[in-house]
């Protein structure tokens, strides 16, 4: 993907979706979605999201889904302190309140499996409602989105079948499909999240709304 910005020019009458590579447990992904929401609110035309799951827990995930912080991934406490400071700065910039209490302890794989299933199976609006419910459950309500009971409750809240979502979480085929999407993201050159894409261009990080406007509209 090309980090350069597209040439200035009129947006097509029907905009293609904006791609987002993200992981539900990434605070910058949540902030990036707020930036996107602010950009979308300024638009006359609807801009749909094409979501691609990304796995931040791959090297730290124990078989039971807990997170092993003893694994050396090059991120020490100084890194996390700097990240926290950056999150707080962006919270103020975007006017976002969010809780960081659980984010380092949660494995988002179950949430990503459930969300990917809904995205591939149901209409866009139902997926988007479920996706936003997952984000708010973690970052606003401090709920464990790695828990099947929580995901079933969230599914019910957006008029999805809770039992169906439970079955999906136990389905190895859907877990394998999401794992393949994780691998595909890396093959496509995605190394961190959030990464926004539009055509051949990309914007990395929780960039401000005006940056997303340039990405999509080229001006």
Q: Which residue has the tokens 């008029």?
A: 159
Predicted confidence band at 76 (pLDDT cuts at 50, 70, 90)?
confident
Check pLDDT > 90 for residue 4: no
Half-sphere exposure of 36 (CA within 13 A, CB side): 28
Predicted confidence band at 67 (pLDDT cuts at 50, 70, 90)?
confident
Give the pLDDT confidence score for residue 15 in this predicted structure.
Answer: 67
| Measured distance CA(102)–CA(2) in Å, rounded | 34
The total number of structural domains in the chain stands at 1
| Measured distance CA(135)–CA(139) in Å, rounded | 6
Predicted confidence band at 98 (pLDDT cuts at 50, 70, 90)?
very high
- How much of the chain, in percent, has pLDDT values that exceed 90? 77
Domain that holds residue 64: 18-217
Check pLDDT > 90 for residue 73: no
Helices (H) and strands (E) in the chain, counts: 8, 4
Which CATH number fits the domain that encloses residue 195? 3.40.30.10
If you average pLDDT over residues 182-197, what whole number do you get?
95
Give the pLDDT confidence score for residue 116 in this predicted structure.
Answer: 98
Residue 10 domain flag = no
Residue 12 domain flag = no
Sign of the dihedral defined by the CA atoms of residues 111, 136, 104, 124, in that order: positive
Beta strands in the chain (DSSP E): 18-22, 49-53, 195-198, 201-204
Q: Which residue has the tokens 């999805």?
A: 160
Residue 6 domain flag = no
The model carries a pTM of 0.89
107-148: pLDDT as tens digits: 999 999 999 999 999 999 999 999 999 999 999 999 999 999
Residue 183 domain flag = yes
Residue 167 domain flag = yes
Residue 63 domain flag = yes
């Amino acid at each position: 993907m090309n980090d350069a910005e597209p040439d200035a020019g009129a947006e097509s009458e029907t905009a293609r979706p904006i791609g987002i590579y993200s992981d539900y447990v990434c605070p910058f992904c949540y902030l990036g979605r707020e930036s996107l929401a602010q950009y979308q609110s300024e638009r006359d035309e609807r801009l749909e999201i094409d979501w691609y799951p990304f796995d931040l827990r791959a090297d730290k995930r124990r078989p039971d889904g807990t997170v092993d912080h003893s694994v050396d991934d090059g991120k020490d406490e100084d890194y996390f302190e700097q990240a926290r400071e950056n999150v707080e700065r962006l919270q103020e910039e975007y006017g976002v309140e969010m809780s960081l209490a659980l984010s380092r302890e949660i494995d988002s794989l179950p949430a990503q499996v459930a969300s990917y299933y809904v995205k591939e199976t149901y209409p866009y609006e139902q997926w988007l409602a479920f996706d936003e419910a997952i984000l708010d459950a973690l970052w606003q309500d401090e709920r464990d989105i790695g828990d099947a009971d929580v995901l079933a409750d969230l599914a019910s809240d957006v008029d999805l079948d809770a039992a169906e979502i439970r079955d999906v979480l136990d389905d190895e085929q859907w877990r394998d499909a999401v794992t393949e999407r994780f691998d595909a993201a890396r093959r496509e050159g995605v190394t961190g999240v959030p990464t926004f894409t539009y055509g051949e261009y990309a914007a990395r990080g929780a960039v401000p709304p005006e940056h997303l406007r340039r990405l999509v509209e080229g001006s």
